A and B are shown apart, each in its own frame.
Chain A
Amino acid sequence: MNIQKVALIIFIFLVGVFAFKKMSGSSSNVSKETENQEIVIKGSDTEVQLVSNLAEAFSKENSGLAISVTGGGSSVGIAAVLNGEVPLANSSRALKSEEIQQFAERGIDYKTVVVARDGLSIIVNKDNPLSQLSLGQIGQIYRGEIKDWSEISTYSGKISLYGRQSTSGTYGFFRDVAVKADYVSTMKNMEGNQAILDGVISDKLAIGYVGVGYVVGEGGQSRNDIKVISIAGENGNEAISPLDEVAVRSGKYPLFRPIYQFVSYEPEEGSALRNFLKFEVSQAGQALVKSAGFYAITPEDEVTNAWLN
């Protein structure tokens, strides 16, 4: 019986070691098979609804094609492309230099598509009298240098900060453009745009940031259960609302940003994936982008997308 016991323990140990070797040895292969019948897209939470709408419209014209879109955050999508899990990532931020390096190390020759434009919106509770902030003040608030509403308005109370989780592209974009340092650690890291919106609606001392698609209510106006803050850029420019299309598109809004997709390889001409990407940037696709509350792409973005033609 004793020998049996010892043998069993050794057996378990060996299986454990082998299984681990096997797991750590498996390399990432970029799968291209999914291209024929199914397109799997993963990434930005800001983009989930938008890309789902586009996918739905595209599948209607192409029966037999299944497109699945899931969120999790831009970093999740980019990591999934890097790990070879999906061919296409949604991302609301540009690639970081270390990610570009990781793509190179793994021999993935990725392609970039700009699907839409977003005016990232700063929102506060509807009881807050504040209507505009400068980009500098927003940075100070999120760095924890301005702690109380009384420092910048007639309102008072400790500012309750809402932000996204580190997996989010919006988290990265906002940090790089507005905060320009690490977020103060008291910020609440929320699951998605909707969670921030819900928090700001119920929290009188809240401030948060969400994609412009989330603040548009009926008829292109701002939702009435929150307040959208107009933002002044540097040099004392006039404050601009993210809902002011003309001003935003002219580039005066400091949080105007491209909404990306990264493909792990260049899909062949005529393939379902390439056709889908072409559809997204076509006029029909851009009309859907606008109806989802986002802005259409700019001539600059069309240059980025030129490889599709």
Chain B
Amino acid sequence: MLGLIKINSRNKAFIIDKLMKYFLMLVASLTVLILVLIFFFLLLTGSQAFSKLSFVEFIVNPNWNPTSFSQPSYGIFSLMLGTLLVSGIALTICLPLGLVIAIYLSEIATRKQREIIKPLVEMIACIPSVVIGVLGLVFVAPAVARVFSLSNGLNALTAGLLVAIAALPSLASLAEDALFNVNWRLREASLALGATDWLTIVRVVLPAAKSGLMATIMLSLGRIIGETMIVLMVAGNSRAIPNSIFSAVSPMTSTIAVDVKEVVSGSLHYQSLFAIGLVLFVITFVLNLLADFFAHHEK
């Protein structure tokens, strides 16, 4: 009698164990399923646009005007330049800043300082991007206009600045992880050979963390390129080819956000918006692959 119960309960535990395993597997595979679904939807709808448009024309034509007065035109070149310009400015600003924060936290700060400052930096990530956009519209754009004596501050520089703020916490945090994971024996060896702290950081720690830092840059760039709300609010949304960092631009993300509200499903305009989405998806996907490659790239 006693033995039977024992076996039963063991069986039950075994079955629950098995069920839990499959349940967790199912939930985890849902994420994959969602990714696959999104990709299929983008690919199928976006590719329909290319039955009517040439892909090369779509990429190199600088004129995006699907609701033209006379001749609709579907070219995303100036939109891509807009994305490139805003992302370039944002990365130029937040990369050095993020790296300095990371070096300080990982190499210089005491354990206590690190425990206080790191969560504070990460807290910037809690600010919704629409709030950063509003602050940008009210404070940063007028300030940029004043400093550079422009008539208005709705341009790529303002957008880049604000996107940099939004991307800073994740960049700093990832970079700090990359530096912190460098084997401590390397530092000890360097210091034992008589190198200064500064020399150790520049000549030993940074090169050793190179792959991790490259992965950080790729992931942050993906975040920067995908940012929509901030650029929609402060980039000025002009579809001309930008000729300086003070040009108003309309990056790909904000163009989709603006146009998607008016499209009739199934129209060429609708399909071409998905084609832009596909281009964005491919860019961020490649960046993520690169990040993965760098992260697992051991010398």
Contact = CB atoms under 8 A, between A and B. Distances in A.
A146 interface: no
A23 B45 CA distance: 11
B152 A203 contact: yes
Most buried by A among B67, B68, B70: B67
Given A12-B32, A13-B36, A202 B248 contact: no
A79 interface: yes
Contacts of A205: 151
Contact of A176 (B69, B142, B248): B69
B222 to A, nearest CB: 23
B152 A165 contact: no
B44 interface: yes
B44 A20 contact: yes
B152 A8 contact: no
Contacts of B65: 166, 182, 185
A185 B40 contact: no
Interface stretch (A187-195, A265-273, A292-300, A301-309): A187-195
Interface in B44-91: 44-45, 63, 65-70, 78
A131 B287 CA distance: 53
Interface stretch (B118-126, B171-179, B203-211, B261-269): B261-269
Interface in A1-51: 8, 12-13, 15-17, 19-20, 23-24, 28
Nearest to A72: B261
B151 to A, nearest CB: 4
A76 interface: yes
Nearest to A204: B151
Interface residues of B, number: 37
B151 A165 contact: no
With a 10 A CB-CB cut-off, give which of A73, A102, A188, A199 has the most chain B CB atoms.
A188
Contacts of A188: 152, 154, 236-238, 248
Given A20-B40, A23-B41, A202 B32 contact: no
A199 B154 contact: yes
Interface string A107-132: 00000000000000000000000000
A167 B40 contact: no
A23 B40 CA distance: 12
Contacts of B68: 182
B237 A20 contact: no
A83 interface: yes
A14 B57 CA distance: 33
Nearest to B237: A189
A181 interface: yes
Contacts of A277: none
Contacts of A185: 63, 65, 78, 238-241
A283 interface: no
Contacts of A17: 40
B29 A12 contact: yes
B239 A206 contact: no
Contacts of B145: 202
Interface in A177-236: 179-182, 184-190, 199, 202-206
A13 B43 CA distance: 14
B142 A202 contact: yes
Contacts of A15: 33, 37
A69 interface: no
B94 to A, nearest CB: 26
B253 interface: no
B69 A157 contact: no
Interface of A: 8, 12-13, 15-17, 19-20, 23-24, 28, 72-73, 75-76, 79, 82-83, 102, 157-158, 160, 165-167, 172, 175-176, 179-182, 184-190, 199, 202-206
17 contacts: A12-B29, A12-B32, A15-B37, A158-B151, A167-B259, A175-B69, A176-B69, A185-B63, A185-B238, A186-B238, A186-B240, A188-B154, A188-B248, A189-B238, A189-B258, A199-B154, A203-B151
Interface of B: 29, 32-33, 36-37, 40-41, 44-45, 63, 65-70, 78, 142, 145, 151-152, 154, 236-241, 248, 250, 258-259, 261-265
